[in-house]
Amino acid sequence: MSVWLAPWCFRCAYCGTSGSTLTPDINGVGHVRLDEQRREAGLSTLRRRNNAQILRRLHDLGLANGAHILDVGSAHGWFVLAACEAGFAAEGIEPDEAVAGLGELIGVRARRGTFPEVLAKDEAFDVIAFNDVLEHIIEVRAALSAVRHHLKPGGYCSINIPNSRGILYRIAAAARRVGVSSIFDRLWQRGLPSPHVWYFDEPGLVRLAALEGFECVYAARLDSLERRGLWQRAHLDRRPSPVTIMSVAVGWLAAPILNSVRVSDTMHLVFRRRG
C-alpha cells in the first residue's frame, strides 16, 4: 500500500521507501539546461572529500591495493581518479555522453553506456560502487541483482545515497505539506534530465539489499553540503532568484548542522556479497 505525497511521488506504507513516477532522460533535450562547469564547481570539493572517506572505509574493511573497482555512473570521474590515486585499479561506467566526454579529457577510464549492459557476462570486480546513482535507477532491484552477479565472492557493493531521514529532506517534506514545494521538488531533481526515482532510508535499503543476497557490513553518514561551490550548485540549471539566494544563504549558515552525523542527508552503506 502506498501513500501519495504528490501527484508524482509516493511512499510505501510498509517499508517507508519513497518513489516517484519521474522518468530519466539523460541524453535528451533537457540536458542543455545544465551548466556542467557550474556543476563541477558546485560539487567537486564535496565529492572529493567524500570519495576519500569512502575509500578509507573500504581500505579499513580489508580491500587490498590493486583491487578492481567499478564506479557505476562515474560522471566527471572524480571517484575513479581518487581510487586510482589510492592504489586501486578503477574504471567507470557513464551513460551521459556529454559528461563521459569530460571525464575522458582528464584521463578517466570509463565505458559509455548503462550498467550492466556494457559488461561482459563473466566480468567480476572486487567492489562495485554507486555514488549518488542508485536513486536514479528505475529497476533498482534488478541493478542489485546484477551487482551480485558481477562481484567476486566476498566482494563489496558501496552505496553513497541520499537519506530520506535526513533533516533537509524532512524539512522539505514538511514545507511541501503547507504549500511550499520548491525545495522538495529540487531534492527529487524534478525537471532535470536524471531525477530521483527513489528515496531510501537506511533500514529500507538494508532490507532491499538482503533480498539480493547482501549483508550490510558498514553504515555511516557523509557530508551533504559544502560551502565552497554552494552558489554554483544552486544555479546549475537556473538564474539567481530571491528564493535561490535565500536558500544559498541559509545553506551556508547551516552547513555544519546539516553535515552532522545525526542529521546528514547523505548515507554511506557497504554491503558484502554472501557466498
Confirm whether 63 is domain-assigned: yes
Confirm whether 15 is domain-assigned: no
CA–CA distance from 219 to each of 202, 269, 271 (Å)?
8, 4, 9
Confirm whether 19 is domain-assigned: no
Confirm whether 25 is domain-assigned: no
Q: Structural domain of residue 86, as residue ranges?
A: 33-273
Q: Pick from 52, 99, 139: which is nearest to 147 by CA?
A: 139
Confirm whether 240 is domain-assigned: yes
- Residue 117 is part of a domain; what is its CATH number? 3.40.50.150
Q: How far apart are CA 41 and CA 36, in angstroms?
A: 9
Confirm whether 125 is domain-assigned: yes
Confirm whether 252 is domain-assigned: yes
pLDDT in tens, the chain (275 residues): 688 888 999 998 778 899 999 998 887 755 555 666 666 655 677 888 999 999 999 999 999 999 999 999 998 899 999 999 999 999 999 999 888 888 888 888 899 999 999 999 999 999 999 999 999 999 999 999 999 999 999 999 999 999 999 988 999 999 999 998 988 998 999 988 889 999 999 999 999 999 999 999 999 999 886 767 665 666 566 677 776 777 767 665 666 776 676 778 999 999 999 87
Q: Could you tell me the pTM of the whole model?
A: 0.90
Confirm whether 12 is domain-assigned: no
Residue 237 per-residue DSSP state? S
If one counts the domains in the chain, the total is 1
